Amino acid sequence: MTREQVYKAQLKRLGIYDEAFDPEISTLAQLERELSRMKKAWKKRAKPGEAPDVTDPIFTEIRKTRAEILQHRETLGLTPKSLRKLNREAFDNIGETEQKSNVLQMVRGRHAG
């Protein structure tokens, strides 16, 4: 299963998936692939028997990419923090079907151009 498929499945289980999120999902998956490549390169530069250097410029990029990934996950509602926020905003005194619809509308609004 690709990263994109995993994220779509997670969003579907949460009841907030929409095809409009596909570009955001694709960006998130690409960032994660880039992070994986950067981490391998960073570890490869380490001397045998030593930990990788945290002052290496690659590590700086790793930290930036991790932060960017977190932002994209929060935008999609894929972190506990962002999901709680979406739920609090959408679940005020309405039925479950309407609640899921409201969450979906809020996430869609974040992706509107």
Domain layout of the chain by residue ranges: 3-111
**CB-based burial, 20-44: b 16+ in 10 Å, e otherwise:** ebeebbeebbebbeebeebbeebee
Residue range 66-84, pLDDT digits in tens: 999 999 999 998 888 887 7
Q: Is the pLDDT of residue 8 over 80?
A: yes
Distances (CA, A) of 28 to 21, 60, 97, 107: 11, 19, 28, 15
Mean pLDDT of 91-99: 56
Q: What is the pLDDT of residue 63?
A: 97
The pTM assigned to this predicted structure is: 0.74
Q: Is the pLDDT of residue 91 over 70?
A: no
